[in-house]
Amino acid sequence: MKENSERLYGLDHLRTVAIILVLLYHYRAFKHPGWIDSIGRFGWTGVDLFFVLSGFLISSQLFKENKCNRKISLKTFYIKRFFRIFPAYFFTVFLYFTFPFFREREALSPIWKFVTFTQNYGLDVISRGTFSHAWSLCIEEQFYLILPLLLLILIPTRLFRYFVVFIIAVIGFSMTARVIAWNEFIIGTDTASPDFWKLWYMKIYYPTHTRLDGLGIGVLTGYLMQYSSGFKKTVEANGNRLFFLGIVLLGISFWVCNEQASKTASIFGFTLVAVSFGFILMAAVSPSSFLYRTKSYITAQLAALSYAVYLSHKGIIHLVQEGFDYFKLETSDNISLVVCLFTCILGGVFYRFVIEKPFSVLKTKALKRIV
């Protein structure tokens, strides 16, 4: 892989794909054109792609720091994560709790769950579905907290030699947790009832311990790219082949997950999707692949806005459609869709210049003080 100073354009393409998938998936909850139902039904995998990307990028950063400096600076890592995640996130929490008209649904989880990043546990999406998409941010934040601490424990020991086995065990644990959750809470529940979906989301889809597949695949890829020269050479020489293999596996994953909440999909689907995106991720960082070599201003900008768009998109879509209803305009056609998505991008631009950039300056100052 190239030096940190060189932008990995392939990852920008993947971030763009991830946020588009999420937008199409969530747009189905609003008034929408009919084709959104068929195109957007697999959009939930966009979050899994974000997990794979986060696992890879964060672990690679930590592995590189350890190789270069023989240590990991927790202070530096947490300062970077704080200024990247917290300002935009808590601004969105402020909007939801202060301005009820921003809410796409009626009820919110208790504020302490958002503040502590634990909203993904016990989340009743049926009755408290407002800002429910923060569940994935909770998992990411828990990951940011635990991974560097775990590496500080493992790296000085012989156990680090078996890190690949450890990550595979973590993924296996997540699959086992889903099997247990299915057998204990889901089996026998009428799939047409609201209780089924409430339990499925609460016990299988949202909890951190059942959703470690994507992060695990990303961390595993980051580890092998840093510590296995043979693996790295293979990735660098076979970018387009890896992409093709990833797409084929993703197609198989979609077939397995055709019924998202089926037993097979619930137990094996997340793992298959994560592995598929793992291969596509390897293609994105391989100099021999078209993903790596193709530069795009559009995907670079959308990738930079993806976090802000993810945070704000449901509230913005809700506001736009409320405005359309007020002026008696059609809200379920393609024009409304384009306006909503464009407004989501504008919302991301607002976050970028009003929140993210000023706090990025503060982050730079904070990092200089600890050097």
| Domain ranges across the chain | 9-365
Please report, for the chain, how many H helices and E strands are present, in that order. Answer: 17, 0
Contact 46, 18 (CB under 8 A): yes
Rounded CA-CA distance 82/157 in Å is 29
Rounded CA-CA distance 305/303 in Å is 5
Q: What is the mean pLDDT of residues 166-170?
A: 98
> Is the pLDDT confidence value at 138 over 70?
yes
Q: What is the mean pLDDT of residues 231-240?
A: 98
Look at residues 322, 315, 325 and name the one whose alpha carbon lies nearest to residue 347. 315
> Is the pLDDT confidence value at 189 over 90?
no
Contact 331, 325 (CB under 8 A): yes
Rounded CA-CA distance 328/354 in Å is 32
pLDDT score, position 346: 98
Percent of the chain residues topping a pLDDT of 70: 98
Q: What digits encode the pLDDT tens for the residues 301-324?
A: 999 999 999 999 999 999 999 999
Mean of the per-residue pLDDT values for the chain?
95
Q: Which of 178-192, 271-285, 347-361 has the lowest mean pLDDT?
A: 178-192
pLDDT score, position 4: 41
Stated as kind and residue range, the H or E segment containing 254 is helix 239-256
Q: What backbone phi and psi angles, to 5 degrees, belong to 200?
A: -60, -50
Q: Could you give the residue ranges of the DSSP H alpha helices within 124-210?
A: 135-154, 163-181, 194-200
Contact 239, 287 (CB under 8 A): yes
Q: What digits encode the pLDDT tens for the residues 57-92?
A: 999 999 999 988 888 999 999 999 999 999 999 999
Q: What digits encode the pLDDT tens for the residues 310-365?
A: 999 999 999 999 999 999 999 999 999 999 999 999 999 999 999 999 999 999 99
Look at residues 8, 25, 13, 97 and name the one whose alpha carbon lies nearest to residue 310. 25
Rounded CA-CA distance 195/20 in Å is 29
